[in-house]
Structure 1
Amino acid sequence: MKLILIRHGESEANFANYWTGWLDVDLTEKGVQQAREAGRRIKKANLAIDCAYESMLKRSIKTAQLVLEEAEASFVPEFKTWRLNERHYGALVGKNKTEMTQQFGKEQVQKWRRGFDEVPPLAKENYFDRRYDGFDRRLLPKGESLRMTSERVLTLWQDQIVPRLKSGQTVLVCGHGNSLRALIQYLEQIPVDKVDEIDVPNATPILYTFDSLLRIERRIEL
């Protein structure tokens, strides 16, 4: 049973150093090339992807599609879900991280970024477009801690990804820094006080191989 986790390629927000959250920013040209290179690495490793899960945000969607193209797996089913969206940074969305550090201090900003239970200031209102029209708005947050992000990601993991792994499929999950950090913390049983040490670089495929009880047999970066 094989799982491939990959964070989207460099985005415009990564380049400009602001909190993105659920903002729908695009990949940079560097991010496009990173995604293609990730797909080539997966192909070189002789991994046959059977399906892909993506967030509702185009930096994830485009990365997954470029990876699938280079891995010669563009034909496989793709599933888009808000449960893989980046952590919702509430009122911090769109704010420059350096400026927020100057305003609130390095320690507070670090807590907002990596603290497991730290909830950022909530957004007063979500101004989402029609991609979320079919969802129960009570489920959609106005700000999240990493724990809250983990809860929604693990719902997807248990309900959809685990059954596919158990059926023998190789699953690609293309998410974001925090949605993948939450899943890695769960899979590797990392203590919550060590979560800030989990690094998820852009467009670097992480391959997990599991035994029949979904215990990790191997973890490698491609």
Structure 2
Amino acid sequence: MDIILVRHGKTEGNLFRRYSGRTDEPLCREGVEHAKASGADQTVPRVYVSPMRRALETARIKFPNAAQTVCPDLREMDFGDFEGKTADELQNDADYTKWVESNCTLPCPNGEQMDAFADRICRAFDGIVRESIENNDNRLVVVAHGGSIMAILSRYGRPERQYYDWYVDNCCGYRARLDGAAWETEPVLSDCEKFETLP
């Protein structure tokens, strides 16, 4: 099965480098234009998508003929007290300093912790994969968030890499392959390759 993981287009929060997890903002004008310019695939029949507006809008632009299956647990990490702020605005915040020094693995105050977030994302992805295998799909497309994609690939992606090594820009993503017959015993995404535009 072919796997396509796409990060949503740019938002105002992305432009100002804010921590935007639970904030449900739309694509900004630049984000819409970039999503349109970076290619669309009219042959995809179904897209699994985060419930956040930025993901839903990106999916409509890049996969205009696809039915959207909304998966609530594909949403981005909840940054708690850091939500909506930039690193510069948080530089004197002791909790933020501790969080960054932990490589962002400590819980965000009043938000999520990295491992719990990754477990949520990967449970959702595993369910999507199993549904696609049952439906005999030959292609699985997910439109979500940078953190969501990094969580999926840091667990299942091959060659193996750390979480932040799978970073991808807005409207870009990864292609990979999945062996449906082996998923139960060896859940991996092979031949992972970053892309900037759809064919």
Output the TM-score relative to the length of structure 2.
0.82
Q: How many Å apart are 1:103 and its aligned residue?
A: 3.4
Structure 1 gaps of 5+ residues are: 123-142
CA distance in 2, matches of 1:169, 1:80: 20
Instruction: Tell me the amino acid that sits aligned with residue 121 of structure 1.
Output: P
SS in 2 for 1:101: coil
1:58 maps to what in 2? 53
2:174 maps to what in 1? 206
| Greater than 6 Å deviation, 4+ residue runs | none
Instruction: Tell me the amino acid that sits aligned with residue 64 of structure 1.
Output: A
1:119 maps to what in 2? 107
Figure out how many residues of one structure are paired with residues of the other and give that number. 188
2:133 is the alignment partner of 1:145:
no
1:195 and 1:216, CA in 2 relative to 1: closer, same or farther beyond 3 A? closer
Q: Is the 8 A contact 1:39 1:68 kept in 2?
A: no
1:177 and 1:111, CA in 2 relative to 1: closer, same or farther beyond 3 A? farther
CA distance in 2, matches of 1:177, 1:205: 9
Structure 2 gaps of 5+ residues are: none
Give CA deviations for 1:102-135 in whole Å, capped at 9, x if unaligned.
43498535347x53x311111xxxxxxxxxxxxx
Q: Is the 8 A contact 1:57 1:85 kept in 2?
A: yes
2:37 is the alignment partner of 1:49:
no
2:77 maps to what in 1? 87
SS in 1 for 2:182: coil
Q: Is the 8 A contact 1:147 1:182 kept in 2?
A: no
SS in 1 for 2:19: coil
Match of 1:108 among 79, 98, 105: 98
Report matched runs for 1:211-222 at 5 Å: 211=179, 212-214=181-183, 215-222=188-195
Instruction: Tell me the amino acid that sits aligned with residue 19 of structure 1.
Output: Y
1:125 maps to what in 2? none
CA distance in 1, matches of 2:164, 2:157: 14
CA distance in 2, matches of 1:105, 1:160: 35
Between structures 1 and 2, the one with greater helix share = 1
Moved more, 197-206 or 31-40: 31-40
